[in-house]
Amino acid sequence: MAPSSSTEPGPEATPSLAAAPSAAAALPVLRLKPGAQKRLVRGYPWAYSNEIEMDAETRGVPAGGLVRLADSRGEALGTALFNRRPLIAARLMSRRSDVSVDRDFLAARLARALEIRERLFDRPFYRLCHAEADGLPGTVIDRFGPTLVIQVNTAGMAQLLPDLLAALDRLLEPETVVLRNDSPARELEGLALEVEVVKGSLDGASELVENGARYLADLRAGQKTGWFYDQRDNRALVGRLSAGLQGGRVLDAYSYTGGFAIQAALAGAQEVVAVDRSEAALELAAEAAQLNGVDARCRFVRAEVFADLAERARAGDRFELVVVDPPAFVKTKRDLPQGLKGYRKLLRLAALAVQPGGLLVAASCSHHVDVAAYSEQLRRGLQDAGREGRILYQRGAGPDHPLHPFLPETVYLKLLAVAVD
């Protein structure tokens, strides 16, 4: 796609505010406090509310409005989306102050994101846009063939949603578009929670293909956008590990719709037990097992995972491979002490379910828990279980969930594969 005149210019020097053209000059100027520009100059894309001079003009900017960001002396820092309600108040859209953030601008960002994904994947099933890392703050777009699922978690991108939808129509011509705007993160921005099909229709579950397996996702009511593409490579790893079991047993705890379970069964596991508390998710997992011809070797158990693992420990029920992929135990920093205790307990129970000489694959999606802290809970969990082990793999999210190089704190997914003695 040839960029129009309103797409983002190249990397030449950013002009001062005085040199900005009239279209950009019409935007309100948001000034930072003295010294607050240092991180942004180094590449950080956010400014916090306590770093911004809250004068009358700033207070008058509507939630999600576009602004020209400047340092305390008036030197331009770029074009940003501003909402004074949350702690992250300004989110850079461009390092330039003379850019028009419009339909063409968004189409150029999406085209770049699509180009990257098409190099990585041969089927249209992936995360197309991963928020700041793809230049669209707080916005995720997952692609399920002809269907797109969009989640917009910032007021600024909510203001730009009509242009975003038009840009996606231009780029991909999707048959169906679902807005999964039901994330609690929207409440921090003052946005309502809602789910809406804004194009086409959605009847029942949608099929996707990943690592050669067929799965079903509930795009309207399933967790997040209905599927977790971030675990794609880790599910493939579980398949490879299962292939080496020579027909052993696999336990998939917090199975959701069977992502890990189906891979294990396809790889040749003799028996796969998938445990989750959601009956709806397990029904989709069972349907996926049938689609892949492995239903005879899969069993789906509706239960609370902690209680199920504790009962298996009492009964001495052990598996050659155990997978635990729970929802986030730590949603805020206040939850950290209790959440770490939860991970330690879960990892102890999971280790008890592993046959000596078997494998434990354990994941955490809590971004407030870093790799070091999670590894420490693994060590303590193994110790509590009276087991020893060695970490074989330390993994994160797949490449369609890229990391913004100046936002390392947004790393969230951690997965450890452990050989348990």
Phi first, then psi, for residue 294 (nearest 5°) are -120, 15
Q: Which residue in 365, 397, 415, 420 is the catalytic one? A: 365
Residue 129 annotated in active site: no
Do 237 and 393 meet the contact criterion of CB atoms below 8 Å apart?
A: yes
CB crowding 38-55: b at 16 or more within 10 Å, else e: eebeeeebbbeeebbeee
Do 132 and 35 meet the contact criterion of CB atoms below 8 Å apart?
A: no
Which of 365, 355, 359 lies closest to 413, judged by CA?
A: 365
Listed in sequence order, the residues at least 6 apart from 143 whose beta carbon sits closer than 8 Å to its beta carbon are 117, 124, 125, 126, 127, 128, 172
In the sheet where 414-420 sits, what is the strand order?
298-302, 271-276, 249-253, 319-324, 354-364, 414-420, 389-395
| Side-chain half-sphere exposure of 334, counting CA atoms within 13 A | 0
> Diameter of the chain by CA atoms?
75
| Side-chain half-sphere exposure of 40, counting CA atoms within 13 A | 31
Residue 382, CA distances (Å) to 58, 305, 375 in order: 53, 18, 11
| Side-chain half-sphere exposure of 311, counting CA atoms within 13 A | 7
Residue type, 395: R
Which of 202, 116, 198, 114 lies closest to 152, judged by CA?
A: 198
**Which residues are annotated as catalytic?**
365
